[in-house]
Amino acid sequence: MARQLLRQLFELDGQTALATGASSAQGRHFAGARVALAARRTDKLGAAVAEIAAAGGVSPCCASNAGLKRLTRALARERARFDIRVNSLAPGYIATELNRAFLASEAGASLRMRIPTRRFGLRGDLDAALRLLAGPGGSYINGAGIVVDGSHSCNSL
């Protein structure tokens, strides 16, 4: 009975999810959902990192993250009347093919120690949050952002 209720609340059959960062394998596997992928080509990532560094470090990244938070809320408000929900996931360091070598390095080990859970996320760690936001169990959730980062963003508290 409980399993059936959970399935009803969190299944994604017939839903569509937009997954950005797909070149790093995030979001490709959400069962039951149609998934639209958006990604930079991996051969372009080096240039993107150099561009961010040349522009002054992480401030462009911070500005884009803040912009995405506001965009999520604005789109949620504008699209609600069409029965379209807009929510976002803010993943922490998720181990993918793209970053696996770095995460296994000494620098990656140092980074891992700054994450309170002392581990990097796995691609399946995003599943429950996505199912909540996109499935029928989250039908009244709109304009929300869920952080899935092993409490890394709370580290300065």
Q: What is the pLDDT of residues 123-133, one digit of tens each?
A: 889 989 988 99
What gap in Å lies between CA 11 and CA 72, rounded to an integer? 22
* Mean pLDDT of the 77-92 span: 92
Taken in order 91, 93, 95, 96, the sign of the CA dihedral is: positive
What is the set of domains in the chain, with CATH numbers? 2-91+123-145 (3.40.50.720)
Radius of gyration of the chain (CA): 17
Q: Where are the alpha helices (DSSP H) in the chain?
A: 2-10, 42-54, 59-79, 100-104, 106-113, 127-134
Please tell me the predicted confidence (pLDDT) of residue 63: 73
pTM of the predicted model as reported, rounded to 2 decimal places:
0.65
What gap in Å lies between CA 15 and CA 136, rounded to an integer? 9
**Is the Cβ–Cβ distance between 144 and 155 less than 8 Å?**
no
Percent of the chain with pLDDT over 90: 32
Query: Is pLDDT at 96 greater than 80 in this prediction?
Result: yes
Instruction: For 21-46, write each residue's pLDDT tens digit.
Output: 544 445 445 545 555 545 555 555 45
Q: How confident is the model at residue 14 (pLDDT cuts 50, 70, 90)?
A: low
Please tell me the predicted confidence (pLDDT) of residue 68: 87
Q: Are strands 88-91 and 34-38 parallel, antiparallel or unpaired?
A: unpaired
What amino acid is encoded at 50 in this protein?
A: A
Work out the angle at residue 111's Cα, subtended by the Cα atoms of residues 23 and 126, and round it to the nearest 5 degrees.
45
Which has more confidence, 137 or 16?
A: 137
